[in-house]
C-alpha cells in the first residue's frame, strides 16, 4: 500500500517506471496515455516477444484498491485479445482445421472493467479515481497534431463528466457510420435522406461536446495564469484558445445555438463530404491553441518555453480536478524533474507536495530537490520488481 504524501520510485531506464505510472493512469481514464490504440497494450509480453504474432491468447490486467477516508474501492481493468478462430475449431473437421491454419488468425479486443467486483460500462468506470500524469512527452500538447490535444481534452473532461463521455462515445460511432454512408451515397448504393438521423446526432452530441470543451478551455486558461507566472522567469502571458468552426456561437449560453450552426455547416459541406467520403464538420475536427504573449507556441515557442507552458497546463489540470471533484487527484510525474533546472524543481516540488498523494519516477536521485528527501517514501525498481528503500 502506498502511503499519502510523496513517493519516489527510482531505477535505471528500461526497468518499468513509466509502465507503472501508465498502468495507474489507465485505471483513471480507461485507456493508455501513450498507446495509439488498445492493441498496443497487449502486443508484447515482458520478454519483448510480439505475442500476437506468436498466436498466443493474451490479456492485460490492472487493478488497485483505492482508499478514501470513508471507504475502500477496488477497481479493475482487463483487456483481452481473443483468437476467434480457436473458438470454433472444435466444431470443424480435421480437413477444415488444417485449412484454417493457412488463413490469417481472426482476433478481437474485449475490454472489461469492474468496480468492487461488479462489471461496469467504461463510461461508469472512468473517473472512479482521478489522476494527472506528467511526462516528458507532454511537449506534444504544444508541437503535436490536433488529435493529440483533442484526446488530452477528452480524457480530462471524461474524468468528471460522464455525460460528456457518453456523448463522445455516441458521436464517434456516428462519424464512423456517417462516413460509411457518404461513400455509399457516392457509389449510388444509398440515398441522401439516409443521412438525416446521423446529422441529427452530430448536431445534438457535437453541440454538447463543443460547448463543454469551450468552457473547460476557458477555465483551464484562467487557472494557467498563476501557475505560469510562478514558473516563467519572464512572467510571460500564457493563454489557451479553443478553435472550432462554430466559434461565432461559443459565447452564447448552452449548446442549442452551436447545434444550429452545425446543421447549417453540414448542409453547406454536403457535396464536399460526399466527394471525399468523410465528415468535414464537427468537434472531431476541432483543436485548441496555446499562445505565449499572443504568439502561437507551436510556431514560435522555444523548447524551454514549451516545457514551462505544458507544465503549467498540467498543474492547472490538477487544480481544476480538485475544484470540480472536491478531492485531490493523484499526481503522477514520470521523470519530469530531469527536464527542469534546480529552481523550477523546487517550485514544482512545493506545488505537488500540497496534494494528498504524488508518485514520482526518476533515474537519478540527484534530480529530486534536497528539501523534500526527508519527507518522502522511496522505492527502487529493477526489472519490474519494486522494493522499499529505508
Range of the domain at 212: 139-311
Same-domain check for residues 293 and 168: yes
The rounded average pLDDT for each run of 10 residues, N- to C-terminus, in the chain (390 residues) is 88 89 92 74 53 55 87 89 52 46 60 92 90 93 96 94 96 97 96 96 95 95 93 90 77 69 94 96 96 96 93 96 92 91 90 91 90 80 87
CB 174 within 8 A of CB 43: no
C-alpha cell at position 67: 482508499
Among 67, 99, 125, give the residue marking a domain's end. Answer: 125
What's the CA gap between 49 and 46, in Å, rounded? Answer: 8
pLDDT score recorded for residue 306: 93
Same-domain check for residues 24 and 55: no
pLDDT score recorded for residue 268: 94
Using alpha carbons, list the distances in angstroms from residue 48 to 14, 43, 137, 215.
12, 9, 22, 43
Same-domain check for residues 266 and 333: no
Same-domain check for residues 277 and 212: yes
pLDDT score recorded for residue 37: 72
Same-domain check for residues 242 and 163: yes
Same-domain check for residues 8 and 68: no
Same-domain check for residues 159 and 265: yes
> Would you say residue 97 lies in a domain?
yes
What's the CA gap between 235 and 229, in Å, rounded? Answer: 5
Same-domain check for residues 171 and 303: yes
Amino acid at each position: 500500500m502506498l502511503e499519502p504524501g510523496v513517493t519516489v520510485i527510482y531505477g535505471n531506464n528500461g526497468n518499468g517506471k513509466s509502465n507503472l505510472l501508465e498502468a495507474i493512469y489507465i485505471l483513471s481514464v480507461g485507456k493508455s496515455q501513450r498507446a495509439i490504440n488498445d492493441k498496443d497494450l497487449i502486443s508484447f509480453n515482458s520478454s519483448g516477444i510480439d505475442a500476437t504474432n506468436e498466436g498466443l491468447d493474451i490479456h492485460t490486467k490492472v487493478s488497485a484498491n483505492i482508499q478514501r477516508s470513508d471507504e475502500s474501492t477496488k477497481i479493475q481493468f482487463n483487456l483481452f485479445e481473443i483468437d476467434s478462430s480457436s473458438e470454433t475449431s472444435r466444431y470443424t473437421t480435421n480437413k477444415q482445421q488444417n485449412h484454417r491454419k493457412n488463413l490469417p488468425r481472426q482476433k478481437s479486443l474485449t475490454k472489461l472493467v469492474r468496480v468492487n467486483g461488479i462489471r461496469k460500462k467504461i463510461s461508469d468506470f472512468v473517473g472512479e479515481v482521478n489522476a494527472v500524469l506528467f511526462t516528458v512527452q507532454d511537449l506534444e500538447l504544444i508541437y503535436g497534431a490536433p488529435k493529440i490535444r483533442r484526446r488530452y481534452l477528452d480524457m480530462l473532461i471524461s474524468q468528471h463528466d460522464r455525460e460528456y463521455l457518453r456523448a463522445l462515445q455516441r458521436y464517434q460511432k456516428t462519424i464512423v457510420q456517417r462516413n460509411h454512408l457518404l461513400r455509399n451515397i457516392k457509389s449510388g448504393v444509398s440515398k441522401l435522406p439516409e443521412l438525416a438521423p446521423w446529422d441529427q446526432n452530430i448536431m445534438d452530441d457535437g453541440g454538447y461536446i463543443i460547448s463543454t470543451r469551450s468552457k473547460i478551455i476557458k477555465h483551464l486558461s484562467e487557472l494557467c495564469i498563476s501557475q505560469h507566472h510562478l514558473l516563467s522567469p519572464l512572467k510571460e502571458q500564457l493563454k489557451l484558445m479553443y478553435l472550432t468552426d462554430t466559434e461565432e456561437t461559443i459565447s452564447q449560453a448552452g449548446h442549442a445555438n452551436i447545434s444550429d450552426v452545425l446543421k447549417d455547416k453540414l448542409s453547406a459541406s454536403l457535396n464536399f463530404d460526399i466527394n471525399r467520403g468523410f465528415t468535414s464538420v464537427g468537434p472531431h475536427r476541432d483543436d485548441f491553441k496555446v499562445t505565449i504573449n499572443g504568439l502561437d507556441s507551436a510556431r514560435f515557442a522555444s523548447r524551454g518555453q514549451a516545457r514551462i507552458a505544458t507544465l503549467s497546463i498540467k498543474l492547472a489540470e490538477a487544480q481544476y480536478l480538485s475544484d470540480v471533484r472536491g478531492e485531490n487527484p493523484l499526481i503522477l510525474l514520470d521523470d519530469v524533474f530531469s527536464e527542469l533546472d534546480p529552481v523550477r524543481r523546487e517550485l514544482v516540488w512545493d506545488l505537488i507536495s500540497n496534494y494528498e498523494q504524488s508518485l514520482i519516477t526518476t533515474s537519478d536521485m540527484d534530480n529530486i530537490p534536497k528539501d523534500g528527501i526527508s519527507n518522502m517514501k522511496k522505492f527502487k525498481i529493477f526489472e519490474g520488481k519494486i522494493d522499499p528503500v529505508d
